[in-house]
């Protein structure tokens, strides 16, 4: 069993990234003792929209340190930086030659971003799902833990694997997605019908894993709720309260029902304070570990070793794919 996933270093990691992705990676690492895990920093994906060199460099390093601070064990998980393995680009081109324009045009993430960013839309933003498919198929991943917003890209990856296999014979494992039961889509604190997103202009809408703890408390205290005054889980009518319940249940590794019961006669104000406390309790130890790791030269060694290990698999896979296509004399 092999697991693959990645996060793009476009900004600080959010509580959504943690609950929807990293927390799952750590749980799967601990539960699936025999599984091989490849978790990478998807830096090639970060230049689909403009990003400054220094920011990108800083973000890459930060994600590496955060992966470990959140509980990934480099002894058991192969951690690496995507751009250090040209095989990702090589397979991405093959995937671009497997995917249809119509399929890329249907990707909701592309459609959303296109609306926001009319000028200077980069070609790579359009072809990005082909690169993502390559990231996954390169390692013959069986399972890909991602949040809900990546589900469509994963479906496309499966279609591309099947299409390529039909054209050239059995080559790729057709991967399955894996979503957490609770928290596959953490919502914005200010607009709880939308996804919590680090690219939002409103800093109060998201919590960053490296946010100052006092600031986190304030952000949760000012989270948008409703005027009903009753704590219940109802995404349609009470999206703000439901989102906070989801965050709370996920961080305490319990169910939403249990949380609803727990907060039965509690005021919104006290409820928010309690959720804030749980978020802070979860993030404090992560921040403490991060602060040590970020200045530790060991971090580079871990990424070097991860790259070398990933390379062994990636290189062989590209050779196989190229031969199937008719390349390589």
State the catalytic residues: 113, 195, 198
Best CA proximity match to 276, nearest among 204, 316, 223: 223
CA dist 69 and 67 (Å) reads: 6
Local structure of residue 46 (DSSP, 8 states): G
Note whether 16 binds ligand TYM by CB under 6 A.
Answer: yes
Note whether 240 binds ligand TYM by CB under 6 A.
Answer: no
Q: Pick the binder of ligand TYM from 65, 85, 137, 146 (CB under 6 A).
A: 146
Structure tokens given for 33: 């003792």
Question: What burial class does residue 269 get, using C-beta atoms within 10 Å of its C-beta: 0-12 exposed, 13-18 middle, 19+ buried?
Answer: exposed
Q: Pick the binder of ligand TYM from 3, 11, 21, 249 (CB under 6 A).
A: 21
41 sits in which H/E element: strand 36-41
Rounded to the nearest whole angstrom, what is the least distance from the CB of residue 246 to ligand TYM in the complex? Answer: 9
Note whether 65 binds ligand TYM by CB under 6 A.
Answer: no
Structure tokens given for 169: 């014979």
Rounded to the nearest whole angstrom, what is the least distance from the CB of residue 145 to ligand TYM in the complex? Answer: 7
Rounded to the nearest whole angstrom, what is the least distance from the CB of residue 6 to ligand TYM in the complex? Answer: 4
Name which of residues 35 to 54 contact ligand TYM (CB under 6 A). Answer: 42, 45
CA dist 51 and 55 (Å) reads: 7
Rounded to the nearest whole angstrom, what is the least distance from the CB of residue 206 to ligand TYM in the complex? Answer: 8
Structure tokens given for 188: 């914005």
> Hey, which residues does 193 pair with through a beta bridge?
none
Note whether 95 binds ligand TYM by CB under 6 A.
Answer: no
Name which of residues 160 to 219 contact ligand TYM (CB under 6 A). Answer: 184-186, 195-196
Helices 268-293, 239-251: crossing angle, 10 deg rounding:
50
Nearer to ligand TYM, 83 or 150 (CB): 150
Structure tokens given for 300: 């580079």
2 sits in which H/E element: strand 2-7
Among the residue ranges 72-80, 128-136, 275-283, 318-326, the one whose residues contact ligand TYM (CB under 6 A)? 128-136
Note whether 98 binds ligand TYM by CB under 6 A.
Answer: no
Residues at the site binding ligand TYM, with contacts judged by CB under 6 A:
4-8, 16-17, 19-21, 42, 45, 132, 135-136, 144, 146-147, 149-150, 184-186, 195-196
């Amino acid at each position: 069993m092999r697991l693959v996933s990645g996060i793009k270093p476009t900004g600080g990691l959010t509580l959504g990234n943690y609950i929807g992705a990293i927390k799952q990676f750590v749980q799967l690492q601990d539960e699936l003792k025999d599984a091989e895990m490849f978790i990478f920093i998807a830096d090639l994906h970060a230049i689909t929209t403009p990003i400054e060199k220094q920011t990108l460099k800083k973000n890459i390093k930060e994600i590496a340190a955060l992966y470990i601070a959140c509980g990934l064990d480099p002894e058991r998980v192969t951690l690496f930086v995507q751009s250090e393995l040209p095989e990702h680009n090589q397979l991405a081109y093959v995937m671009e030659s497997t995917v249809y324009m119509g399929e890329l045009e249907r990707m909701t993430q592309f459609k959303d971003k296109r609306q926001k960013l009319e000028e200077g839309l980069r070609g790579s933003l359009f072809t990005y799902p082909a690169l993502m498919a390559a990231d996954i198929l390169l390692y013959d991943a069986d399972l890909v833990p991602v949040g809900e917003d990546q589900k469509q890209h994963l479906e496309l990856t499966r279609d591309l694997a099947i299409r390529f296999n039909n054209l050239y014979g059995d080559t790729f494992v057709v991967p399955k997605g894996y979503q957490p039961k609770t928290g596959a889509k953490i919502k914005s604190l200010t607009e709880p019908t939308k996804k919590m997103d680090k690219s939002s202009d409103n800093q109060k809408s998201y919590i960053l894993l490296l946010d100052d703890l006092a600031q986190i408390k304030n952000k949760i205290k000012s989270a948008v709720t409703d005027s009903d005054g009753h704590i219940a889980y109802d995404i349609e009518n009470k999206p703000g309260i439901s989102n906070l319940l989801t965050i709370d249940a996920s961080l305490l590794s319990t169910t939403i029902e249990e949380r609803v019961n727990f907060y039965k006669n509690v005021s919104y104000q006290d409820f928010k304070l309690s959720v804030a406390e749980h978020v802070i309790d979860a993030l404090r130890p992560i921040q403490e570990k991060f602060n040590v790791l970020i200045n530790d030269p060991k971090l580079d060694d871990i990424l070097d070793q991860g790259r070398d290990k990933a390379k062994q698999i990636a290189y062989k896979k590209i050779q196989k794919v190229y031969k199937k296509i008719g390349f390589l004399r």
